[in-house]
Amino acid sequence: MKNTFILLLCICTTFSCKFDKESNEDVAEVFLPKTDHQLRQVPKAIITPTVDGIANDPAWEHIPWNALDQRWLGETYTKEDFSGRYKLTWTPEALYLLAEIEDDVLYDQNKDPLTLWWDDDCLEIFVDADNSGGGHQFTHNAFAYHVALDGHVVDIAPGEVPTLYDNHIKSVRKTTGNTTLWECEIFVYEDTYIDHTANETKILAANQKLGFALAYCDNDSSEQRENFIGSVPVEGDDKNRGWIDAGIFGTIQLTENTNE
């Protein structure tokens, strides 16, 4: 009886330390306060980009590229296997992303968008509307959108439910040879977001700060993804923390400055 009690106590303690389902809050860890590491200015677009997977919009012309070069998971890879970079701009309605990915193999083994989506080639967009950091594994304190090759958008909703958020991100992908251009319109939602109800998008304005990171899941033909490459350096051995901890996101600050 004593051993049974100890076993049950250990199970209950482990469960409560991982996730409090009743409150829908992450309680697994104590997260450090968010700092504005990798603070980057994002200029406003005078002309809203047309989301067509073609990088000829005036909005992109003078915006500098940012590198996608931080190995979060996997073995060392070659430039021929993967390289990536991206640009950002904004309007009051949405963030806009242009990502250029060099990948010698595009792989989509799971046709069901809610099955092992992270093991297919996909773009992952992390957004924290108020730049507050903290846990978000099974909450909407922040979003970790997986944008699949077919355009489906997946994150985990409260209750540990894999959910499609196709209306949060409009994306168009065009591939020529080994080069893929991914253009995205990203609607931003606050942490008050409630699934399966009407939610207002965040209206963006100059001087706002948002938590942001970008990553790419790369799989050439394996059962599981082979590499996970991000935009932000992550300290420590466990670098695959973006889906849990919004504190590792970089910070973007929206500005009125335009270079068009």
Which tens digit of pLDDT belongs to each residue from 239-249?
999 999 999 99
Residue 258: band (very low, low, confident or very high) from pLDDT cuts 50, 70, 90 = low
DSSP string for 51-110: -SS----GGGTTPPPEEE-EEEEES---TTTEEEEEEEEE-SS-EEEEEEEEES------
Residue 80: band (very low, low, confident or very high) from pLDDT cuts 50, 70, 90 = confident
Q: Give the torsion sign (CA, 75, 76, 79, 80).
A: negative
Three-state SS at 24: coil
User: Does the pLDDT value for residue 236 go beyond 90?
Assistant: no
CA distance 36 to 251: 5
Instruction: List C-alpha distances in Å: 190 to 34, 42, 134, 162.
Output: 16, 19, 14, 19
Which tens digit of pLDDT belongs to each residue from 42-63?
999 999 999 999 999 999 999 9
DSSP class of 245? B
What one-letter code names the amino acid at 157?
A: A
Higher per-residue pLDDT: 121 or 66: 66
Cβ contacts of 134 within 8 Å, gap of 6 or more? 26, 31, 34, 141, 142, 245, 246, 247
H or E element at residue 170: strand 169-176
- pTM of the predicted model, to two decimals? 0.87
Q: Hey, what are 30's tokens?
A: 């104590």
Q: Hey, what are 34's tokens?
A: 């968010």
